[in-house]
């Protein structure tokens, strides 16, 4: 049982990190969420149980110390919380695993397969048109459970979910359907250290690594988006754990330095690797036919090919 003084110390730390909070009943404090930045105080922290939860973006956890650690606060504040609660010392360990935050699709999520009743929803129209322009078919919408949001923090965005091997949501992409939108992508408040579309992957067959979800859809089969230029640790570990024997690397033109790095890394581990340079900006611009022709035509990247590309100034 925390004393009144200890509770006040925790409140002071939260106010210092998150800004002045609002006291609620049952030892709870309401704060502005540092993950979704909603304009109202939707992050609630229970001083007694340590449970915290944002009612907008669904970021949550069971330890206040882990919330503060995610925000990279001064270690002295973490130490003070440890002294007050007397548990969760693991937050100081270098081997601490990432906090597992349960992720859910936005409550406003609607499937693109379901045509709105009555007057056609303008956001639905825009999202469907965007999908068609990116070459996404009805089969893709079904396969990836693609939808959209016409309200909430992901309003006017097409939503592409990703599920792990147990069919649990591990990430989603929220892409604006408006070309003039400044922030085209809005990421959920969880780590990108995931294996995108893991439930769609057959590790016994060649896999193709691409940068984004739309690139993966252009490849159509056994393709994993790495959400940038670097392979996530979880994916890298899974490649070796599952004994993958063949990998195609199809990154954008401006990521060829990283592509060469991973080509060498995988080849040094005995994995047959093809580093495929795109003929256009990215795989999604190339489209299914051109991408797959490239995959068929390309040969294993040899040591000489790597040296040649290095000499051309890629490294």
Q: Which tens digits make up the pLDDT trace of 26-47? A: 899 999 988 877 888 999 999 9
Tell me the sheet residues that pair with 45. Answer: 29, 52
Same-domain pairing of 26 and 76: yes
Same-domain pairing of 175 and 79: no
Structural domain including 269 reads 191-315
Is there a domain that residue 198 lies in? yes
Tell me the sheet residues that pair with 272. Answer: 246
Same-domain pairing of 152 and 198: no
Q: Give this prediction's pTM.
A: 0.65
**CATH number for 71:** 3.90.580
Tell me the sheet residues that pair with 31. Answer: 43
Give the integer Cα–Cα distance in Å for 302 and 2: 64
Residue 302 has pLDDT above 50, yes or no: yes
Give the integer Cα–Cα distance in Å for 130 and 214: 11
Retrieve residue 157's tokens.
């965005």
Is there a domain that residue 251 lies in? yes
Domain total for the chain?
3
The answer to whether 92 and 78 have CB atoms below 8 angstroms apart is yes
Same-domain pairing of 195 and 315: yes
pLDDT score at 299: 61
Residue 148 CA, distance from chain mean position: 17
The answer to whether 175 and 160 have CB atoms below 8 angstroms apart is yes
Give the integer Cα–Cα distance in Å for 32 and 44: 9
DSSP annotation of 311 reads I
Same-domain pairing of 24 and 86: yes
**CATH number for 126:** 3.90.980.10
Higher-confidence residue of 79 and 304: namely: 79
Same-domain pairing of 27 and 122: no
Final residue before a domain boundary, out of 154, 188, 222: 188
**CATH number for 270:** 3.40.1360.10
Give the integer Cα–Cα distance in Å for 258 and 274: 13
pLDDT score at 315: 43
Strands ordered across the beta sheet of 272-275:
223-225, 207-210, 246-249, 272-275
Final residue before a domain boundary, out of 188, 222, 252: 188
Same-domain pairing of 265 and 311: yes
Is there a domain that residue 216 lies in? yes
pLDDT score at 179: 84
Same-domain pairing of 313 and 201: yes
**What count of other Cβ atoms lies within 10 Å of the Cβ of residue 149?**
22
Same-domain pairing of 76 and 146: no
Give the integer Cα–Cα distance in Å for 196 and 232: 10
Higher-confidence residue of 10 and 284: namely: 10
Q: Which tens digits make up the pLDDT trace of 86-105? A: 754 333 333 344 445 568 89
Higher-confidence residue of 124 and 292: namely: 124
Is there a domain that residue 213 lies in? yes
Higher-confidence residue of 118 and 228: namely: 228
Same-domain pairing of 58 and 110: no
Same-domain pairing of 115 and 69: no
Helix (H, G, I), strand (E, B) or coil at 146: coil
Same-domain pairing of 220 and 309: yes
Q: Which tens digits make up the pLDDT trace of 176-216? A: 999 888 889 988 877 888 999 999 999 999 999 999 999 89
């Amino acid at each position: 049982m925390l004393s009144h003084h200890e509770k006040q110390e925790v409140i002071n730390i939260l106010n210092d990190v998150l800004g002045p909070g609002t006291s609620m009943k049952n030892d709870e404090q309401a704060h502005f969420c540092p993950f979704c930045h909603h304009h109202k105080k939707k992050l609630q922290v229970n001083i007694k149980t340590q449970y915290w939860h944002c009612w907008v973006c669904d970021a949550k956890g069971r330890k206040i110390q882990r919330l503060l650690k995610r925000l990279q606060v001064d270690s002295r504040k973490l130490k003070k919380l440890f002294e007050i609660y007397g548990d969760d010392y693991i937050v100081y360990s270098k081997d601490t695993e990432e906090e597992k935050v349960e992720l859910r699709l936005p409550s406003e999520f609607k499937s693109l397969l379901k045509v709105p009743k009555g007057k056609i929803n303008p956001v639905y129209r825009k999202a469907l048109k965007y999908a068609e322009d990116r070459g996404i078919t009805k089969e893709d919408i079904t396969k990836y459970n693609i939808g959209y949001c016409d309200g909430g923090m992901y309003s006017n965005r097409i939503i592409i979910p990703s599920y792990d091997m147990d069919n649990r949501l591990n990430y989603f992409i929220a892409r604006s359907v408006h070309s003039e939108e400044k922030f085209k992508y809005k990421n959920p408040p969880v780590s990108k250290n995931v294996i995108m579309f893991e439930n769609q992957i057959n590790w016994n067959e060649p896999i193709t690594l691409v940068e984004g979800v739309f690139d993966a859809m252009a490849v159509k089969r056994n393709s994993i988006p790495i959400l940038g230029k670097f392979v996530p640790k979880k994916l890298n570990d899974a490649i070796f754990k599952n004994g993958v024997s063949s990998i195609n690397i199809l990154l954008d033109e401006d990521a060829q330095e990283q592509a060469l790095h991973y080509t060498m890394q995988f080849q040094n581990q005995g994995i047959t690797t093809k580093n495929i340079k795109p003929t256009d900006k990215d795989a999604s611009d190339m489209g299914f036919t051109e991408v797959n022709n490239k995959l068929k035509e390309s040969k294993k990247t040899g040591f000489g090919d790597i040296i040649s590309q290095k000499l051309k100034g890629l490294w």
